[in-house]
Amino acid sequence: MSLRSAARAERDIQMNSWAWLRLWQWSCDAPGGLPLERRRGYEVMSQIFLIASLGHMAYACVLLGLQMPWVILLNLACVVANAMALMLHRRLQLRRAMTVKMTITLVMLSLSICWIGPDAGFEYYFFLLLCEMLISDMGARYKVAMSVSIGSVAVATLTLTPLTTPWMADGAALHQELQVINLVAVFLVLGLIMWRLHVITERCEHHFRRDATHDYLTTVLNRRAIFHEADMLWHQQRHFTLLLLDADHFKQINDEYGHTAGDEVLRHLANALRGALREHDRLGRVGGEEFLIVLPESEREDVLAVAAHIRQCLADRPCQLDTLTLPVTFSMGLAASDEAASLPEVIDLADRRLYRAKSAGRDQLVMGELEPVETTA
């Protein structure tokens, strides 16, 4: 093979791999308006439909060597049915999609068993269908009704078929080969479904955990999570400092420019605070325009450096709203863990110092009971 042919073959392989990856992503991407709590069920069923289509296609290719054209046609019909179910599923017609898949697959299994005879391994797929139904996101009544239907078809087919002669005269000779193929196929598909279910569940749980601990607007820690960080340090008896910040004249921004502009300002402030913190510091939003920074193992000089860095970041990068520039500053109150007997008292001390900073003219830090401290911007 020439170098040009080898390069062309490698390029074709890459394009095919890219096409399969795009198909997989397209089939699994949930619509944007779908709530997060429904995305797990949606993605699981999307991947089941796609896996079923690819599985029936691969099975049809295997059967080519066994010269079983009718069973091959049944599998190709299942490929089309699962593709239709996937399209319905993407349109959020979930029950109709599942009904199409289950109906066509049950018909295919019943005809295959009647065509070849029992004990060829096709009965294993009834168990696979039942597993797919149980892990789906369908309602309880639908699951019960469809599970009863699967069980009824399985019992009727496996009970009546031994009483009749298989439609394929030499089907019995292929029982052992087909039984091994079907058993391997069921375990492969079931294992793949379980693996994808685990991956999707882990990703959804990560999103749920993040939503439970982070502020939706600014993506920093929310009030409960940032107080939990401080509480852990307190119970570990580690020294830390709380820096409570409040955006100056924020109500005026909301009144003059609207709440959408106010949200943009809050996101800008959160990004500025992130850029000013040390690696082990923690940032959270505790109120409308109030933020709390937890600084573990920090001395007075460390806190002053962080405060100065915050003011410098805001001075260098004021908030931009289209053509409008909004300079925003912070009033800050500081309290160290060794200044009070309990964590609520430390928080209350930082809060009182924050309001002293506002009363003293804003855009400054109060860290003691005397005068406000000027931090160099």
Q: Say yes or no to pLDDT of 290 above 80.
A: yes
What band does 36 get if pLDDT is binned at 50, 70 and 90? low
Rounded Cα gap, residues 239 and 295, in angstroms? 9
Residue of 15 and 338 predicted with greater confidence? 338
Q: Say yes or no to pLDDT of 371 above 50.
A: no
**Known catalytic residue at 37:** no
Q: Which two tokens stand for residue 300?
A: 């007075």
Q: Provide the pLDDT for residue 375.
A: 54
Nearest to 337, CA basis, from 295, 302, 365: 295
What band does 246 get if pLDDT is binned at 50, 70 and 90? very high
- Give me the half-sphere count of Cα atoms (radius 13 Å) on the Cβ side of residue 133: 25
Q: Provide the pLDDT for residue 119.
A: 76
- Report DSSP letters for 17-39, one per residue: HHHHHHHHHHHHPPPTTS-HHHH
What band does 21 get if pLDDT is binned at 50, 70 and 90? low
Among 16-25, 180-189, 362-371, the range with the most confident prediction by mean pLDDT is: 180-189
Domains and CATH numbers, the chain: 15-213 (no CATH), 223-366 (3.30.70.270)
Q: Say yes or no to pLDDT of 202 above 80.
A: yes
Q: Phi/psi zone of residue 117: left (φ > 0), alpha (ψ -120 to 50 degrees), beta? A: left
Task: Classify each residue of 144-182 as buried b or exposed e, where b means 16 or more C-beta atoms within 10 Å of its C-beta.
Answer: eebeebbeebbeebbeebeeeebebeebeebbeebbebb
Q: Whole-structure pTM over 0.75, yes or no?
A: no
Q: Say yes or no to pLDDT of 123 above 80.
A: yes
Q: Provide the pLDDT for residue 223.
A: 92
Q: Which is catalytic among the residues 229, 264, 289, 290?
A: 289
| Average pLDDT rounded to a whole number, residues 108-136 | 84
Q: Say yes or no to pLDDT of 152 above 80.
A: yes
Q: Provide the pLDDT for residue 166.
A: 57
Q: Say yes or no to pLDDT of 134 above 60.
A: yes
Sign of CA dihedral 43, 45, 47, 53: negative
| Average pLDDT rounded to a whole number, residues 109-116 | 82
Q: Say yes or no to pLDDT of 116 above 50.
A: yes
Helix (H, G, I), strand (E, B) or coil at 365: strand
Q: Say yes or no to pLDDT of 264 above 80.
A: yes
| Average pLDDT rounded to a whole number, residues 289-305 | 89
Q: Provide the pLDDT for residue 283.
A: 94
Q: Provide the pLDDT for residue 22.
A: 67
Rounded (5°) CA angle 276-277-278: 130
CB atoms within 10 A of CB 123: 19
Q: Provide the pLDDT for residue 370.
A: 45
Pairing mode, strands 330-336 and 365-366: parallel
In sequence order, the β-bridge partners of residue 244 are 292, 333
What band does 226 get if pLDDT is binned at 50, 70 and 90? very high
Residue of 172 and 210 predicted with greater confidence? 210
What band does 293 get if pLDDT is binned at 50, 70 and 90? very high
For 43-101, write each residue's pLDDT tens digit.
888 888 888 888 888 888 877 776 677 778 888 888 888 889 888 888 888 889 999 99
306's CB contacts (< 8 A; 6+ apart) are: 243, 276, 277, 278, 281, 293, 295, 298
Mean pLDDT of the chain: 82
What band does 30 get if pLDDT is binned at 50, 70 and 90? low
Q: Give the rounded percent of residues in the chain with a pLDDT score beyond 70.
A: 84
CB atoms within 10 A of CB 327: 10
